[in-house]
Amino acid sequence: MGQEITTADAGELKNFLATLIESKQLPAHIKTVEQAFTIAQMGKELGFPTMQAFHYIIPIQGKLSLSAKATNALLRKGGVKFFTKEDGVYVYKDGSITDMRKDIAENPVDRRTTIVFTRDGVEETCSFTWVDATGQGLNTKDNWKRMPKEMLYARCLAKGANRVGSDLLLGLYMTEELTDSFNIPEIAVKRNEDGTIKEIVDVTHTEVK
C-alpha cells in the first residue's frame, strides 16, 4: 500500500485539485477540494496513482466506495485469483442450469452467478442469485431489471471480495453495494459498457433501512 500524503505536499496537491475541479476535469461526483483530497489520500493508501483514484474511488453519502475495476485490480494485486464459474445461468426445478433460458413453459426458479476465489491456496466459492436479490428488495430496481446478469456478477464479486480480501480493500464496499443501500436512482448513475458504474451524478439520497 502507498504512504500518506505529507504535510509538505498537501498544499501543492490542494492547489492542483482546485484547478482540476474548476476546469471540470474530475468525475461529477467529486465536487469539493476536500472531497478530492480525501479520495487522493485513500488512493495513496490503496496504491493507486492520484488521477486513477478519482475514477476508481466513488464517494456516496460521505462514504467511499470502490468501483468494480478497482476491486478487480486490488484483488489481483494482492494475489487473489478468481474466475467466473457460472455467469447469470438459469436454474430449473430439476436442478439443471442453462446459459440461455429454455422455452417459456419451463420457467426457471432462479438465476445464479458463481465466482471461485483462491488466496494463499485456500479456495472460496461464492454465489449470488436472483432469489438473494429479491430477498434484499433489489429485483424491483431499474438497473436489476435492465441488466440482471451484470448486477448478479457485481454483487457476487463484492460478496467474494469481502470474504477473501477485505484487508486488501481496506474495508471499503463496492460502489454497486452502496448505490443499492442508499437507493441511488438509475438516472443518477453513469455506467461503462459492461454495466459497471463509471460515476455518480447525484448523491443526495437517503439510505434504505
What the block records as the C-alpha cell of 169 is 480493500
Among residues of the chain, what percentage have pLDDT more than 90? 55
Whether pLDDT at 119 is above 90: yes
User: Residue 127: is it exposed, middle or buried by C-beta count within 10 angstroms (0-12/13-18/19+)?
Assistant: middle
Q: If pLDDT is split at 50, 70 and 90, which confidence band does 206 have? A: very low
Q: How far is CA 202 from the centre of its chain?
A: 17
* Residue 105: per-residue pLDDT: 60
- Going by C-alpha positions, the residue among 60, 88, 208 that lies closest to residue 156 is 88
pLDDT at res. 204: 53
* pTM exceeding the 0.85 threshold for the entire prediction: no
Q: Please write the tens of the pLDDT for every residue from 23-51.
A: 887 888 888 888 988 998 999 999 999 88
93-102 pLDDT, tens digit each:
988 999 887 7
- The sheet with strand 97-98 has its strands ordered as 97-98, 81-91, 110-119, 122-129
3-state secondary structure of 15: helix
192: pLDDT strictly greater than 50: yes
